[in-house]
Amino acid sequence: MLSRGDAVVYKCRGLYKVEDVGTLDFSFVDNGKQYYTLQSVENAGDRAYIPTEDETNIRRPVSREEALAIIDRIPQIEVLQVKNEKFREQEYKDCISDFCPENWVKVLKTTYKRTKSRGSITSLDRKYQMLLEHALYSELSFALGIPAGEIQDFIAEHVKTEKEV
């Protein structure tokens, strides 16, 4: 059970804090159920309400050690092999459905590779790139204590340093 103030990752939407645990005063919800009220760390207008008995869409953020291990593995993480372009979005969704940062990296690497080979980015790739960069960078920012705006440079420098060793 989560408590007020706990940090969580909600789906692929980024980092949230548990603002409250209790019943909701909305006409469309079951007043007998307990809910987590989640507040986005980056967006004051973004709030989510999750039933306490269903934590499938939320998880605790990775630790500092786990974050560094993910960054270390980035060069080895494979891109997705999409066999049929008609199903590209479904393959992206299937890959990220467990809300695992490593799978976010897999889809991101796929979109970056496609953009480089095509010379331009598709709207679908842009959509997933923006969503997953936000989710990944906000979580890594929290885990590493680095501002989210500096995470991309931190990853690039860390991966470059690892290759040199």
CATH, residue 142: 1.20.58.1290
CA-closest candidate to residue 7, choices 72, 84, 71, 62: 62
Same domain membership, residue 80 and residue 35: no
Q: State whether 78 and 157 are in the same domain.
A: yes
**Three-state SS letters, 76-99:** HCCCCCCCCHHHHHHHHHHHHCCC
Q: Report pLDDT for 82.
A: 92
Cβ atoms 64, 143 nearer than 8 A? yes
Query: What does the pLDDT profile of the chain (165 residues) look like in tens digits?
Result: 899 999 999 999 999 999 999 999 888 877 889 999 999 998 999 999 999 998 899 999 999 999 999 999 999 999 999 989 999 999 999 999 999 999 999 999 999 999 999 999 999 999 999 999 999 999 999 999 999 999 999 999 988 776 665
- Residues 159 and 88 both lie in one domain: yes
CATH number (domain holding residue 14) = 2.40.10
- The one-letter code for the residue type at 51 is P
The two structure tokens encoding residue 85: 């372009």
Q: Is 138 helix (H, G, I), strand (E, B) or coil?
A: helix
Residue at 2 is within a domain: no
Q: Are residues 50 and 90 in the same domain?
A: no
Q: Are residues 99 and 130 in the same domain?
A: yes
- The answer on 142 and 74 residing in a single domain is yes
Same domain, yes or no: 92 and 55 = no
The domain in which residue 16 lies consists of 7-59
Residues 53 and 108 in one domain: no
Residues 96 and 115 in one domain: yes
Are residues 83 and 140 located together in one domain of the fold? yes
Please state whether the predicted TM-score (pTM) of the whole model is above 0.75: yes
Report how many domains make up the chain.
2
Q: Compute CA distances 78 → 29, 59, 66, whole Å.
A: 42, 24, 19
Query: Residue 162: its pLDDT value, please?
Result: 64
pLDDT of 7: 97
Closest residue by Cα to residue 111 from 91, 137, 97:
91
Residue 114: what pLDDT? 95
